[in-house]
Amino acid sequence: MNWLTNFVLPKIRAVVARKEVPDNLWKKCPGCEQMLFHRELTANLEVCRNCGHHFRIGSAIRFKQLFDDGAFERAELPRVPVDPLRFRDRKRYTDRLKEGQAMLGPGSDAAAVASGKIGGNAAVIAAFDFDFMGGSMGVAVGEGFLTAARLAVARRAGLIVIPSSGGARMQEGILSLMQMPRTILAADLVKEAGLPYIVVLTDPTTGGVSASFAMVGDIALAEPGAVIGFAGARVIEETIREKLPEGFQRAEYLYDHGMVDIVAPRAELPAMIGRILSLLQDPVRVMPALPPPPGRNGAEAR
């Protein structure tokens, strides 16, 4: 029987294994539980065709989707001291950083910055990667945010920020909390320069991120179904001992209550952001079709 187990069995296994479908070809939609073909999902901007569920996407895909012709230039972000508190929970903080960087490239952190054009307007985008430690905001993210703001001012460009974050990075303790006022000041740099500061709230925008730069946009856009809030719904329910309303902390709920200006599907974002940038920076160029004001000449005055 030895030849059967040693020779025939491996061959059979090899043939069977080759026919197996790779796991990454299909993705299950958390919204409607349908199996979605990977390539189709990518073609549809990582949005489910059946129920419109918006999957989380990283900064690299964001940049490609939003900048004109997918053309952009990544900004070099300053290096920061690694693991200042020598923090360790179940794993070392440095190991968690290494895992994230193995995925997104050496020196990367939970936010990336790039510049280019959107709808022909100069724009700088700071986008978060939720896959990197839950998109948490530590010193590196704060530095990245400041870099983005300075770049926007230097280039007279609008700043677009796309958070996808659980909040402050607990592994950096008080230093991560300090990034909250820091990012607010960075946003102020852009506002004081008279440039647009637009926030696109995506799933999830919570904790210290929602309590700082994410809520002070000149215009607040949100993707459908995104969870946006400070504390989690369960924590609130346990604290106030009340049942929370349907759809609480979702983009649509915030829109109904005046916290968000527009809930826009991902496919509409590039054109919408382009138009907002144009309207805020160069309103005369955008509205050439406006009728002349009445009373300018005799015919209209009548």
Q: Is the Cβ of residue 53 or residue 96 nearer to Zn ion in the bound state?
A: 53
Minimum Å distance from CB 224 to Zn ion?
12
Shortest spacing between CB 44 and Zn ion, in angstroms: 11
Place of tokens 């958070």: 163
Q: How far apart are CA 129 and CA 73, in angstroms?
A: 18
Q: Are the C-beta atoms of residues 27 and 35 closer than 8 Å to each other?
A: yes
53 or 62, CB closer to Zn ion? Answer: 53
Cite the DSSP H helix spans in 193-297: 207-210, 233-240, 251-256, 269-281, 283-286
- Give 44's Cβ-side CA count (13 Å radius): 17
| In the complex, least distance from residue 147 CB atom to Zn ion, rounded to whole angstroms | 36
Query: Distance between CA atoms of 300 and 127, rounded to whole angstroms?
Result: 49
Task: Give min distance, CB of 206 to Zn ion, in A.
Answer: 23
Among candidates 165, 141, 2, which has minimal Cα distance to 77? 141
Nearer residue to Zn ion within complex by CB, 31 or 225? 31
Nearer to Zn ion, 107 or 265 (CB): 265
Nearer CB in complex with Zn ion: 10/30: 30
Cβ nearer to Zn ion, comparing 50 with 233: 50
Residues near Zn ion (CB under 5 A): 29, 31-32, 48, 50-51, 53
Question: What's the min distance (Å) between Cβ of 203 and Zn ion?
Answer: 14
Host H or E run for residue 14: helix 9-19
Question: Dihedrals φ, ψ of 183, to 5°?
Answer: -70, -30
Tell me how far apart the alpha carbons of residues 5 and 111 are, in angstroms, rounded to a whole number.
52
Instruction: Tell me how far, at minimum, the Cβ of 52 lies from Zn ion, in Å.
Output: 7
- What are residue 221's DSSP bridge partners? 200, 262
Q: Rounded CA gap, 155 and 174, in Å? A: 32
For residue 10, the surrounding DSSP H or E stretch is helix 9-19
To Zn ion, the closest distance from the beta carbon of 51 in angstroms equals: 3
- Residue (29 or 141) nearer to Zn ion, CB: 29
SS3 271: helix
